[in-house]
Amino acid sequence: MLLIEEKYKSVAELLLSSGTCPRCVLRFCCVGSPAPYRLPYKDLEDELWKFLTNDGDILPPNKKVRFEDTELCRSETQIPMAVADSDVADAPQICNLCLGILQHHCSTEFVKKIFHKVQSAGYEFQDFVFPVSLPPQLSVREHSAWLQAQQEMRKQDRLLEKADIIQLKEAYKWIIHPMISEELGVQAVSKSLFEVGVVFCHQDTDEDCHFLATVCKDCFKPTKNKQSVFTRMAVVKALDKIKDNDFVTHFPWPPSSPKTTCQVVDIQCNHASVFVAGRYNKYSRTLPQTPWVIDGERKMESSVEELITEQLMMVFKADSFNFSSSGREDVDVRTLGRGRPFAIELVNPHRVQFTEQDMKDLQQKINNSDKIKVRDLQVVSREALAHMKEGEEEKTKCYSALIWTEKPIGKEDLEFLDDLKELKIIQKTPLRVLHRRPLAARSRVIHTMKTEYVDEHHFRLYLKTQAGTYIKEFAHGDFGRTVPNIGSMMQTTADILELDVESVDVDWPPALED
Ligand code: ZN
């Protein structure tokens, strides 16, 4: 059953006699159910002829003659689908609307090609989405056919809206999705993380669009990134604007029948990014957080980022990554306690299915390094990443510092520091970061301090501060750019010898059992 309504009969005749394939005929007859599109090409062709020559008629072997006999043919041109012996049906004349997509690119061979491409790419996936990029001139040809079909319907005092026509992409999906599904053994869904994309082009008919640029100049503005101004969007916009008369003058009906089918420029597989989060400790005072490269020259042999991502990249087989963290520490600062939250975006990962045990093993591999340790390593959603940056300014951080004083000190010289609560300080952007941060004066709060006397020139200072406080500058004063500071309060010159981050108070990612 074709499910074509009787009222569309003249539209079907018109298109079929102009070089349009049976599947495109279904589309312009507004057949909104997948089954007829999935009929074998030859069967569909036969059914269509039966429909046009009144249901139930037995077709003679040479339908071309039959067609002319029944005077259904209104054009003088050759009837493209008329000769329907099996050889010709296997290699039908290329459709002037879909440029062969609903003919040649629905074949089992093409689906096999897709399957081999996916298989050799080596991805793990549970379902797939199949985006298709069509050449923009298809819209021009469709527009042309729509105007003609509209005219036919008007003769019966009926309307045919463009939106009533089944889109090529929709019909193509109906046919090819089940075929690919069967090959891959998974379902096609509209929101899959795994994408198998096909890009079609058809050079012979590229010029179809060009007249639009002379009629609707403002629709085609050159943009930096696009190779051609004739993007699908611009063409659709121009077709929306152009007057019917102008269109028909420049692009007479019927569109030419192409000699070749659309070419497949590319079949590309891609997996959406996977995000992995955790917390890291850094035990080295010679390890930067991210690769430290100045003028193309490495200053330190490794980094926290590299020690973590090397293992992840290997296991997830990703193309690239993006590392982010809740704040950062200087190269000579250790991060202790429960560590600093971090997240890594793995771009286009080929392996994505990991059990909790797999993640534990991976964490163990990373932890073979003596410079860093990670914990709570887990796969998280993109959305969850926001928790890491949320309220970064309001959070508190705890540090411990080894302070040196020029003036000899006794235990009693430190007591006043233990008593200071919610100390407000003003920090001008430190000299050491001025090259990458704008000059500004920021107010920060030192919530509490606790001291531990070491000897007459050294003491340990434990601080709980507002996030974003520059601790080194709070110790030595940065030439008076941080006020007050430890030196100014103790009326001596002070410096910081060692600094450790004791805790980063961000409750994310969730703690995991060991
Ligand atoms: Zn077609």
pLDDT, one tens digit per residue, over 241-259 is 999 999 999 999 999 999 9
Distance CA 70, CA 52 (A): 9
Q: Compute the mean pLDDT over every residue in the chain, rounded to the nearest whole number.
A: 90
Q: Answer whether residue 59 shows pLDDT above 50.
A: no
The tens digit of pLDDT for each residue in 369-403 reads: 999 999 999 999 999 988 887 766 678 889 999 99
Q: What is the pLDDT of residues 229-242, one digit of tens each?
A: 898 999 999 999 99
Q: Does the pLDDT value for residue 58 go beyond 50?
A: no
The CATH number that domain 395-504 falls under is 3.30.70.3190
Tell me: the pLDDT tens digits for 427-448? 999 999 999 899 999 999 999 9
Contact 148, 376 (CB under 8 A): no
Distance 103 CA to ligand 1 centre (A): 7
| Beta strand extents in 359-471 (DSSP E only) | 372-380, 396-405, 423-428, 441-455, 458-466
CATH 3.30.70.2510 boundaries in the chain: 273-392
Residue 489 pLDDT exceeds 80? yes
Say how many Å lie between the CA of residue 26 and the centre of ligand 1: 9
Q: Does the pLDDT at position 93 exceed 70?
A: yes
457 touches 483 (CB < 8 A): no
> 273-392 — its CATH code?
3.30.70.2510
Residue 163 C-beta-side C-alpha neighbours within 13 Å: 0
Taking the centre of ligand 1 as the mean of its atom positions, its distance from the CA of residue 15, in whole angstroms, is 10
CA of 266 to the centre of ligand 1 (A): 21
For residues 464, 468, 472, 476, the Cα torsion angle rounded to the nearest 10 degrees is -90
Which whole-number Å values give the CA distances from 126 to 108, 189, 383, in the listed order?
22, 10, 21
pLDDT value of residue 393: 67
Compute the distance between CA of residue 120 and CA of residue 430 in angstroms, rounded to an integer: 53
Helix intervals (H) in 208-352: 210-215, 232-241, 244-250, 304-316
Q: Are 146 and 166 in contact (CB under 8 A)?
A: no
Catalytic residue numbers, as ranges:
330
Chain region(s) in the chain for CATH 3.30.70.3190: 395-504
Cα 109 from Cα 176, distance rounded (Å)? 12
How far is ligand 1, taken at its centre, from the CA of residue 255, in Å? 12
Let me know: does 89 contact 42? Beta carbons within 8 Å.
Answer: yes
Taking residues 177-185, what's their average pLDDT? 96
Weakest mean pLDDT among 61-70, 98-107, 265-274, 432-441: 61-70
Percent of the chain with pLDDT over 90: 79
Residue 83 has pLDDT above 80, yes or no: no
Backbone angles phi, psi at 44, to 5 degrees: -60, -45
- Predicted TM-score (pTM) of the model is 0.82
**pLDDT value for 55:** 54
CA 12, 59, 7: angle at the middle one, nearest 5? 25
**Higher confidence at residue 223 or residue 464?**
464
**How many whole angstroms from 93 Cα to the centroid of ligand 1?**
10
Q: What is the pLDDT of residue 76?
A: 34
pLDDT of residue 90: 56
